[in-house]
Chain A
């Protein structure tokens, strides 16, 4: 099993550009989520999904969109990048059902810099 795979690992954008961070898992997990990690702060939840076709907002959703058309994939879209979105982004999945995530399995992260 590859686990949780994130691409790209590094990306530099200019202010106003859009892009999509990809996340795929091969563990048949229903729960998937996106976090951002900033220096000196804990991971903060951006969006999450409890199953295909179902998404919901987390703590810091503004400026980001998600969709969940399949169980395996959960892409994160930045609509119009801003310097405040410079961060390391982590995708995580879990076998948890409903709204309770069990043990979270994280991807290796995507480091995004917005100039």
Chain B
């Protein structure tokens, strides 16, 4: 069964610190991997989309990496801000494309 596992489930960091969120998947073959940010009570918003041939992609202070051989991805947040407090969701698309597999998300809390 295609699965996407994220770790940790939740994380608390101090403002200004860096953090890394992990995503492991078993979807195979896969087309692309996405990271979304979901603020409390809002819909998810896309951060990055990477195809299987890309190793890294940045969006401001967010940098996603992908190792298609080990089926792992990470999302690194640099110099965290209070507004980074949210759930971060890893999503993997299988070759069909129309059926995305969502991870349960990592809840990040940035405190001052």
Q: How far is the CA of A55 from the CA of B30 in the complex (A)?
A: 23
Q: Say whether A75 faces chain B, with CB atoms less than 8 Å apart.
A: no
Q: Knowing A42-B4, A99-B96 are in contact, say whether A104-B101 is a contact too (CB < 8 A).
A: no
A42 with B101: CB separation less than 8 A: yes
Chain B 9-46 near chain A by CB (<8 Å), digits 1 or 0: 00000000000000000000001001010000111111
Instruction: State which of A44, A100, A106, A108 has its C-beta within 8 Å of the C-beta of B98.
Output: A100
Residues of A within 8 A of B97 (CB): 96, 98-101
Tally of B interface residues using CB under 8 Å: 24
Q: Looking at the assembled complex, report how far the CB atom of B6 sits from the nearest CB atom of chain A, in whole angstroms.
A: 9
Tally of A interface residues using CB under 8 Å: 29
A101 with B98: CB separation less than 8 A: yes
Q: Say whether A82 faces chain B, with CB atoms less than 8 Å apart.
A: no
Closest residue of A by beta carbon distance from B102: A42
Instruction: State which of A56, A98, A106 has its C-beta within 8 Å of the C-beta of B45.
Output: A106
Chain B 60-77 near chain A by CB (<8 Å), digits 1 or 0: 000000000000000000
Q: Which residues of B contact A (CB under 8 A)?
A: 4, 31, 34, 36, 41-46, 49, 89, 91, 93, 96-105
Q: Which residues of A contact B (CB under 8 A)?
A: 4, 31, 35, 40-45, 48, 50, 56, 58-59, 90, 92, 96, 98-109
* Additional pairs, 9, CB under 8 Å, beyond known A59-B99, A104-B44: A40-B104, A42-B89, A48-B98, A58-B99, A99-B96, A101-B97, A103-B34, A104-B46, A109-B42
